[in-house]
Amino acid sequence: MAINSIRNAAQLAGKIKTPPSNPSEAPDPVKILYGVKNPPPFTEGNIFPLEWEVKTPKLMQIYDSARDPGWAPNRLPWDTLDPEAFTLDQRYALAYWWSLLSVFDSSGPAVFARAMIHTYETHEEDPVRKCFFSVTRDEVNHEEICQRAIQKLTPGGPLGYEPQTPLGKLARNNVLWYYHNGGRYWEGFKRGVGKYPLAILFTSFLMGEVAAATLFHGMYQRTTIPAFKEAFRCVGKDEARHMGICLAVLDRLLPQLTDEMRAQITKQLRAGYIFLSGILYQPPEQFWELPDTWRPAHGILEDVAREAGLGVLSDEERRENWRAAVLKMKGLLEPHGVAFPAIPEIGIDGETVAFDPDDIIPVF
Ligand SMILES: [Fe+2]
Ligand SMILES: [Fe+2]
């Protein structure tokens, strides 16, 4: 009753229009069209309007092949990984390596999610946005591999597990320092990701993917631990696909580089090398803030993990693998006028460039 009397009063006051009872009295769309106005211009960085443009059909094919990666972290043979089969120090050393890896692979989800939002804001073609989504999903899986390996060997680890031996305590301290550096990387990445055009971002990502594919391929061949072997195989397959995504995008973008972009890429390749060497090789001092105890402890932990069957390559083998991977990047970029940076650590000549932590973009 009360609602009806409010409506009647409103109608009398002319505030509510009664719909016409006769269809012929309905407003004509053409008449309405005369009054049409457009909204204000869309602001820069707005994710709207949404469009589904495809400039690189090959990317769409890669995305289709990535819809189902064909494996899942919970379906790996974790039940074959028996912590009791290892000594305490071996367990700590194995969990230690997965914790170091997690500084790279566990930054993947947030780093790629951030990059994916960036591609919406900059209205990149649809398959670029979709591929970022699939890489983000893959990185969540890679993070989970680190999580499961660490939890199985040192429940609650790496930080919530109380190690019983001096080596275990050194491992935990080393991991803390890596997380400290991982945090610094993330701060730099957040500043950098919105600043660079796609060609620069993808060249940096490619460096990360090349590094990841190289690492997992080598460890897949070398490890004697079945659960890890399967993990390295599956993650390595994903990384090869990530490389394919980067290459498909760069195929289109590298011929369009400006001189300024080329110079920036040279700097970023050097920065990428410095960051990624933290897992591929040895962490260079230019970026990695580490205490004096870090390197000697790391050497022992790697030896113990190697003896336990993890599949860590020798320093010499890693140096060679890294060099071969970086030379592939060089072969791809130099024809497009990009000067390669000098990487004397692995015997690569090139331009000497200054290092700025904000130039680091790579993920894994
Ligand atoms: Fe990757
Ligand atoms: Fe990854």
Report CA(108)–ligand 1 centroid distance (Å). 7
Report CA(343)–ligand 1 centroid distance (Å). 23
CATH architecture entry for 58-64+71-359: Orthogonal Bundle (1.10)
Ligand with the closest atom to the CA of 208:
1
In order along its 364 residues, the chain shows pLDDT tens digits of 444 555 555 555 555 556 657 767 778 999 999 999 999 999 999 999 999 999 999 999 999 999 999 999 999 999 999 999 999 999 999 999 999 999 999 899 999 999 999 999 999 999 999 999 999 999 999 999 999 999 999 999 999 999 999 999 999 999 999 999 999 999 999 988 888 888 899 999 999 999 999 999 999 999 999 999 999 999 999 999 999 999 999 999 999 999 999 999 999 999 999 999 999 999 999 999 999 999 999 999 999 999 999 999 999 999 999 999 999 999 999 999 999 999 999 999 999 998 988 888 877 8
Buried b / exposed e across 151-188, counting CB within 10 Å, b at 16+?
A: bbbbeebbeebebeeebbebbbebbebbbebbeebeeb
Report CA(145)–ligand 2 centroid distance (Å). 10
Q: Which of 208, 223, 226, 328 is nearest to 268 (CA)?
A: 208
Ligand 1 is an ion; its neighbours by CB within 5 Å are: 209, 212, 239, 242
pLDDT for 7 equals 52
Report CA(181)–ligand 1 centroid distance (Å). 20
Report CA(245)–ligand 1 centroid distance (Å). 10
Ligand with the closest atom to the CA of 209:
1
pLDDT for 2 equals 47
Report CA(108)–ligand 2 centroid distance (Å). 6
Report CA(19)–ligand 2 centroid distance (Å). 59
pLDDT for 306 equals 98
Question: What's this model's pTM, rounded to 2 decimal places?
Answer: 0.90
Kindly give, in sequence order, each residue whose CB lies less than 8 Å from that of residue 264, ignoring residues fewer than 6 positions away.
196, 200, 359
Distance of CA 343 to the CA centre of its chain: 23
DSSP-assigned letters across all residues of 272-330: HHHHHHHHHS---TTT----TTHHHHHHHHHHHHHHTT--PPPHHHHHHHHHHHHHHHH
